Amino acid sequence: MWGLLVLIGAASVSAHPQDLAFDGQKVFRVIPQNDEQVELINFLASNMQVDFWQPDSATLVRPKMEVDFRVEAGKSFEVEDLLKESGVEYRVLIDNLQAALDAQFDSKTRTTKHSYDKYNSWETIAAWTADIAAQNPDLVSRSVIGKTYEGRSIYLLKLGKSGPNKKAIFLDCGFHAREWISPAFCQWFVKEAVESYGKDTATTKLLNRLDFYVLPVVNIDGYVYTWTNDRMWRKTRSKNAESRCIGTDPNRNLNVAWCSIGASKNPCDPTYCGPAPESEKEIKALTDFIRKNVSTIKAYLTIHSYSQLLLFPYSYTYKSAADYDELNSIAGAASKELASLYKTKYKYGPGAEILYPAAGGSEDWAYDQGIKYSFTFELRDTGRYGFLLPESQIKPTCEETLLAVKYIANYVLEHL
Ligand code: ARG
Ligand code: ZN
């Protein structure tokens, strides 16, 4: 009887399968000081159903690193007790994930209508790609560069005034499904381009002289899954042979020192590199397009979250890139531009040093294809909300990021 009442009660407030799924879950931040404490984290990872937020997998944890992970409601007290007993330095970043989840939709009105300062579903984004192209025919065109594993069209927008022999900048968003601020940025970027063209001289010049390829969501199937089933999903949604676990980490799937470091061969891991390089249809579509246009593409920018980092090659090795000095000074200047608006602080440097070594990532791949200006952004925040960045932060996050992207674009234009 009671059980039935509870069920009815839950059903009446819950419109989505995941509406209350995160109640009682916690996100911890631990800073292991030595190998022994790293061991403890690995123990938790293999015994307590822990979801790593930062770094992306337990195997990437090293001493002195900030480690954020999510723990299931039923295990959160046990995990906290273990952390206390072990004497490891920790704090509770998010006390009740459900509250943070509700806070991400903090702009009160919910509609399915497209909005630049809200998170849009894939359906809404897909319709928007058609509309924005139709409304700006001399500035925006849309193409399909392939299909996802589940059969969705992968849309690519090309921005720029048409002209002979134009060079281009490639920008993608939504590699990782749960990093919702990323697709929001790609949409914002397109909006700013079409609204500022002919009004703002710097933007007009950029679009007159360069094309921008914008891929609003790479991992569309994963993004859809975060809306319908599991907000914390990261990987693609492809099935794996001889495993019940689903998905490949798209940013470990490129053919650059593939699966040699910072990636897993286990399909159940969040950093699974896939059965082969470019096994994922989404990645194959992206790399095919870039290979085909490699002589015109002068910069590659890929947007992730969270951590507030601006990374450049390499991640697959500690060796510094041939263009280290130039990339480092661009990253420094771009970070400074970004901070000029709201004082948001970014760290910058090669991925392996600033974050962790990890092979098969897209900026390393693009760089080794000869695209010198290759950067990964990790947008806001630094863990207060993590992947659940509230909608009220979309506008400021996109505005400040745009300053950095424009800085890089101008630099590229001046160094063609
Ligand atoms: N968090 C991102 C990822 O793990 C960072 C990417 C850095 N670059 C890289 N090539 N691993 O995919
Ligand atoms: Zn990511």
Decide if 348 contacts 332 (C-beta within 8 A): yes
CA distance 252 to 279: 11
Q: For 96-108, what is the mean pLDDT?
A: 84
Find the DSSP H helices in 210-280.
Answer: 220-228
Strand-strand pairing, 309-312 and 347-350: parallel
pLDDT over threshold 80, residue 164: yes
Please provide the CATH number assigned to the domain covering 26-103.
3.30.70.340
pLDDT over threshold 60, residue 63: yes
Q: Which ligand is nearest to the CA of 180?
A: 2
Q: For 96-100, what is the mean pLDDT?
A: 91
Q: Which two tokens stand for residue 365?
A: 């791949």
**What mean pLDDT, rounded, does the chain reach?**
94
Which of 91-100, 108-117, 359-368 has the weakest average pLDDT? 108-117
Residue 52 φ/ψ, nearest 5 degrees: -80, 130
Q: Which ligand is nearest to the CA of 250?
A: 1
Residue 17 is predicted with a pLDDT of 60
Residue 325 CB contacts under 8 Å (≥ 6 apart), including other chains: none
Our CA dihedral for 400, 111, 94, 389, rounded to 10 degrees, sits at -10
Share of the chain above pLDDT 90, in %: 90
pLDDT over threshold 60, residue 378: yes
Which of 280, 282, 378, 400 is labelled catalytic?
Answer: 378
The ipTM value here is 0.97
pLDDT tier for residue 21 given thresholds of 50, 70 and 90 = confident
Q: Whose CA is nearest to atom 7 of ligand 1?
A: 351
Pocket of ligand 1 (CB under 6 A): 56, 251, 304, 311, 315, 351, 355, 358, 361, 363-364, 376
End-to-end alpha carbon distance in the chain: 73
Residue 108 is predicted with a pLDDT of 67
pLDDT over threshold 80, residue 195: yes
Q: Where in the chain is the domain with CATH 3.40.630.10?
A: 122-415
Q: Which residues of 381-393 are buried (b: 16+ CB within 10 A; e: fewer)?
A: bbbebbbbbbbeb
Residues with CB under 5 A from ligand 2 (ion): 176, 304
Which of 41-55, 140-154, 205-219, 387-401 has the weakest average pLDDT? 41-55
- How far does the centroid of ligand 1 lie from the alpha carbon of residue 38, in Å? 21
CA distance 387 to 53: 8
Residue 101 φ/ψ, nearest 5 degrees: -65, -45
CA distance 27 to 69: 5
Q: Nearest 5 degrees, angle CA 83-CA 85-CA 88?
A: 50
pLDDT tier for residue 20 given thresholds of 50, 70 and 90 = confident
Active site residue 195: no
Q: For 329-350, what is the mean pLDDT?
A: 98
CATH class for domain 122-415?
alpha beta
Q: Which two tokens stand for residue 153?
A: 């069209």
Residue 297 is predicted with a pLDDT of 98
Name the packing angle between helices 394-414 and 201-209 (round to 10°).
60
Ligand 1 mutation target, pool 234, 271, 376, most atoms within 8 A of CB: 376
Residue 7 is predicted with a pLDDT of 42
Environment class of 126 (CB within 10 Å of its CB; exposed 0-12, middle 13-18, buried 19+): middle
Predicted TM-score (pTM) of the model is: 0.94
- How far does the centroid of ligand 2 lie from the alpha carbon of residue 363, in Å? 12
Q: Where in the chain is the domain with CATH 3.30.70.340?
A: 26-103
CA distance 188 to 114: 12
pLDDT tier for residue 8 given thresholds of 50, 70 and 90 = very low
Q: For 51-71, what is the mean pLDDT?
A: 94
Ligand 1, residue 249: give the atom nearest the CA: 12
pLDDT tier for residue 11 given thresholds of 50, 70 and 90 = very low
Our CA dihedral for 138, 395, 55, 323, rounded to 10 degrees, sits at 50
Q: Whose CA is nearest to atom 3 of ligand 1?
A: 251
pLDDT tier for residue 16 given thresholds of 50, 70 and 90 = low
Decide if 275 contacts 241 (C-beta within 8 A): yes
